[in-house]
Structures are given as structure tokens and as C-alpha cells.
Structure 1
Amino acid sequence: MASIQRTVAAAIVGFAVGAGAMGGGFWAYNDLNPGAQAQANASANIRQYATVASAPATLPLGPDTVSNVVKRVSPAIVKIVATVKQNVNVNNSPFFNPFFGSLFGNQPITPQTAVQTDIGTGFFFNKDGYIVTNDHVINGASNIKVYVKGYSKPFTATVVGSDYQTDLAVLKINAPKPMPTLILGNSNNTPVGAWVIAIGNPYDLNDTVTVGVISAKGRPLTIGSRNYTNLLQTSAAINPGNSGGPLLNLAGQVVGINTAVSTQGQGIGFAIPTSTLDQIVPQLMKTGHVSRPWLGVFISTDNKSIAKQYSLGTASGVLVDYVEPNSPASRAGLTAGEVITQVNGHAVTTASALESQIKKESVGSRVSLTAVTLHGKTVTVSATLGQEPNQAITMPSTAQLP
């Protein structure tokens, strides 16, 4: 049987809002970040949890601008040490991938059984001890320690919520008193060329400050199974251990969360914009996860070439490459090789069109799917959308069409 892994316009609806599975490096398709009404409603509530700048940043330029900002914001920035107790192959560990900006301690680069230690950064956005950081810093951790300036011993943190897709997480410590917090600025109003400051713990070098500019906006990036679609690009140096730390403007306001660094070029780092925090943090605070409807299929845009190659019943629609076991699609009876032509009576001719229709729905909604089988028969099934798994969603390399 022919392998599904082909170079066509592919998408994952194993999300049902989708993450591109084909390709790697810098490739990703748009609209990974939540766009449903639930996210839009949640974004209006960010002010319940964090201080948000009410006016455009004023930038007091001068010889001491950066040092003054650093002095003012440093008490709110923390060091995070996450421990994962499990058997790992160091060579294959995502914690060892420098693109993620995380640190694997001093373990040798050989396959072995080990305890992973990831060092990252975070900052208080709420005086009651709530911290924002990257999901990849604390993902799978059995123990999370937070080092706060002015305290001799670290605090043990609990995970309030995390989101694999946007790579954001909220932690909480039992703060003995109100914690200093950072102000969230407006990344949308931050222009390319604006000066920014990155503060973090690269290579366990605490409180390292680097300066650069916003060199681009809206950058897509794929790292492993994570697909970022709207990152700030910066020339401020970001290294392993900076992950989760703030990217600040010259008014000391957070405009991004330092997340990744390009290993292929110097001075190319990436940060999650605060516009994404606006959408995600309120949901993590309320429910611990982001609500995304999930169908559970990997899909490709069908065309005449694909239809002929795989003897499909139609050359117009969305080809089902793979159906996740125990998913809504599986329970509805969809199988690989079928071509979805309609969702709730609306024609879908591309993978992105199917994604858009699913994203309009909510978790628990029932959708009607019209599909053409491999034998050319048209069928209609009903699926109840589930909650997207908060983890990597990948298609098995051995998956094949019937």
C-alpha cells in the first residue's frame, strides 16, 4: 500500500483546529492559535488576572534606560527548575533540543537512563504568586522549583494550566506576601525595529540581560510537533534557559515570552506575543486548559492527481489520511481513504476549509459529515466533537491508506 506521507497540502484535524504535520524547520500553516469565539470572549478577561498597559508605552530613552528597566522589573522574574523522573534517551529528548531554549544539565550525550532537569525562566503576572512560562519548560515534570529574588529557598510550584499548542503554562506558588508583577504591554502595537530587552537564565547564568530589536512579526515556526504561527522575531540574544522569560519594551512592559532560538543563524530568536497570552491565560486560569473542538483525523486537500493515485471515489473534497483511535471521528465511523465533502451541509474542498468549519463549533457539539467512500458511495455520519488532547498530535509513520 502507498504511504500517506506525501508532499501535499496536509493538515491535522486530530486537533480539529489543526497543526501541520508535513515538513519541518520553519514551515507551519496559519491559524494554529485559537480563534474560536470562546477564545475571543476569554481574551476580554485577561485584566482580571494581570495588569495590562492602558496606553501606548512611553519610552524614556537615555544612557541608563536599559539598566533602569532591568532594576525595576527584575524582582518579578523567576528561575524555574523542572525535574522529570523517567527513562530517557538523551539524544532524542526534546529537553536537549537547543531550539526550544531549554537546558539538560551536564548529562553526556549518550543514550542512558537519567533524570531530566530543565532550567527555564518565568515571571509573576499576578501578585498572588501566579507565574507564566513556556509549557516545554515544565511539560512532564514531577517536581517544579521556583527561585524568587529575596528568598533563600526555592518554592514548590503547582501547574495551574498548560497548553501544548501555544507552548504556554501558568504556575502558582504559595506566596507569603504579594509578589511583584510585570505589566503586559501590547505586542500588536510594537513595531518592527522597536528596542526590546530579554531577561532570563541562559545556561544557568542567572539574571542575564540581552538587548536587541523586534526584527520581524508574525513568524511561523515548526519545532518537532509544535507549530507556532505568530511569533515575534528578535535580535536580542536568547539561549537555552531563557525559555519562558519576558521580552520587554523600553517602558518595562512585557511584549513577548522568549521561547526559541534558531540554531541556523545568529541573532534570530523568537517570542510568543502578548496577544496570544491575552487569549490563552484566562482559559488556563479558569479551567487549566484551552477549549478546542477535536474531530480526530489527519487530512489533506483532495485533487485529481491524488484521487487517481489512490483510486478515490471523488477528486474534490478533503481526504482522510488517518483516523485517531477512540476519537470522535472513529466513533462516528469515518475511515482513512474517505473524502469529506460537506460539514453541516457546507461544502468543503480544502483542508483549511474543513478546519474553519470545525473551529466554529464547540466541544460537545454534534456535526454532520458527508463523505464519499473508496467505492464511490456517499454517506453521512454524525460526530460529537471532543476536547483536543493537550499533547503532541502526530500521525504514525506506518499509517497507510487501505
Structure 2
Amino acid sequence: MEMTAVETTEPSQEFQPQPGPEPRTRRYRGRATVAALGLLASSAVVGSVYAVHHHGPPPTSSAQRSPYVAEQAGGWGGYSTQQLQPYSRQYSDQPYTGQQGTTTTAAETASDASSSQSVGIVEITSTLANGAAKGTGLVLSADGTIVTNHHVVAGATSIKVTVVSTGKTYTATFLGADATHDVAVLKLQGASGLTPASFASSAAAVGDAVTAVGDAGGDGGSLTASPGTVTGVDQSITVQDDNGGSSRLSGLIELHAYVVPGDSGGAVLNKSGDVVGMNVAASSGSRDVTGYAIPIAQVRSIAAQIIAGNASADVKIGYSGYLGVELSAASNEPVVAGVESGGAAADAGIKAGDTITRVNGVAVTSAEQLHDLIAAKSPGDRVYVSWKTSAGVSHSATVTLGSGPVA
């Protein structure tokens, strides 16, 4: 959910961080809404997540995963929000009024994270169908198990992960995700001897001093540390991506800290330096920033379920099957706009302009239905697909599904 093809050029706004170790200047392009902290994918990229995707204009080069645009129940302190490109950030002309009724003005302050704050944190680069996205993650085990936000890796055709404390980069495999709660787990290939993040044994409480740490701006290199305060717990928000989709996140930690795109999947540290939450969304403006994080106990519980391979209504394990077609957005029917060379559809002889009519004997009438039928399968599964050409000629074939982008 936080993805817009990343332009690594920096926005025009600038602020001065508070005095601290090697202050870091952040520049952002424009005013926007509460954005999930990664980068937002275009409809074409999102479609590929589903193994079939709508045909539309590709995103511009690479983007930061600016996860979500969020709205709190009752609105944001009485002012409206507007989603803008490229970072999907929220802007307010008014100070934020917290749940406890206090009015605050968060200074846009940050500095490079210290070496101790960087231990157990990784930077993630997801290659998408038409661009790239960047975010942050946490090390769960010495052999390279990583947890991050689902929106950081959604739509990825390949994933690279850099361990900040060592500078070493690994190829990552997607183990599974709970998209509903925005948690995903990765496994680094060939990793050993990594230092896991240190996780807090007690939950965050209102008034706690915290520091949000992540790859702010998706620029790589040193992480950014943004000090702040917990202003609420058990919070619920509605998040919107750049494609108009929305979902509900609940049970979140609310913090008054400068959390921005690229921080998604990063750590919220308590005063002892232990992780109490994982960054997931934020509202932001010229002076006000309200961040949101998933409590680390919930993150670890979902990660454990994924690692154990226990699928459920919310938890999906591994990659989905992949037919390798792109569908036209101009039709309500599953009309093929393009076919991936070497994919299952291409091998069967399906071409642009054809309409897929059945999967395993089930009549298909929409792109969404086709997505659901294919996504329920695994790579290597054989399915019987029927289609009709633009001339009205019907064909059928048994195809072997490939491995799709992260769904």
C-alpha cells in the first residue's frame, strides 16, 4: 500500500533538524495525506501482484513506498486531507489535536541513526513490474528471517535486502504475508550470523519517549532516527493507496514523531533501545507529523504463524500461481491486453485481444474473478484454461502456472 514509482530526486521543502549527531536534512516535494511509509505502485504494478493486472500507464521509474493515506475516525482534527504525488504525504495548515485533547506541533527533526539504533534493521528494495520501491525491515533471526510491512514488498518480482550494520546485500525470498494487518516475512538467501533486533517485553504506553528508525526517503545509506512520544494506543485508521483502494488498520500505536515515506517496516524504539512497534503509516505536514506503528507483539505473532506455514483467512503462505497475462482496464470482462513472454498464457497460445472465459471449468466474467481463481493456486499447479479470440474462436489448454509477484 505505500508505493509510487520512486523518483530519487528530492522534493523542494527543507527543514533543519534539531541539534544532534550528524544532523540529516530532509526535503519533500509537496503537500499530501497520511501515507503508508513506503512507495505506492501504479495500477499496472498492483495488477501484477494479482498474477493478472489491469493495463494502464506505467509508473515513473522507481518510487518510495509511501504506504498509505490514512484518515482517523471523525477526520483529522477537523481538516480535510488531499492525496498528492509523488510521496502521498499529508499536509495540514493546523496543528494536530491528539486523542488526549492536547494540541501539539511536531518539529520536523531527525538525525542519522546511531550504530546501536541500526542493529537488527535492514533496507529493502523491491523490483516491481514497472519500477521499484523501497522500505525498511527488522531482523528476526541470525539466519536471515526478516519482517516488514506487506505494502513494502507487494507486487515485487524480486527483492534485495541490505543489512545496515554490515552493509551486506542479500537476495530475499517471500515466505508469506498477512495483508490485512500489513505484515510480511522474507528469508535472506545465504545469510548467517546476523544480529536480530532487540524486542521489548512490555507494550508501549501513552507518554513513553520513543524513536522511529527507518530508511527515510528511501535513499539508502544511514538510517534516520526521529525522536517522539507515544500519544495513543489501540488506535484505528483507514488507509488509502494511490490506486483508490482502502483498508482498515486497528490496534495501532500512535506517535508524535517525524515518520515519513521509506520508514515503513522500520522500528519504533523505546528509551531502552528495544523495539516496541513497526512503522506502518503516517500523516505529515509542514510541522505536524503523526506516525502509526503495529505493536511488536502483534508483528511477532503474525510472523511466527507465517514462518510455521500456517495459512488462514488473513495469512497467505508463499508465492501465488501466475498466469502471465495483463488485462485491459477498458473492459469489465477479462480481456487480455498483453502476455508475458515465456509465461503460462504465452505457452498456451493466448494473445492480446483474447478473452479468458473459464478456469478449470468455472465461468470467468471479470478480472477480479480471474485473479481470485489464479491466486488460489500455487506455482507449478496445472489448470485448464479456456479463452475466446477476438474473432470468436474458442480454445482450451492445460497450463502450468508460474510464480507470480508478491501478492
The two structures have a TM-score, normalised by structure 1, of: 0.49
Higher strand share: 2
Name the one with the larger helix percent.
1
Provide the TM-score with structure 2 as the length reference.
0.48
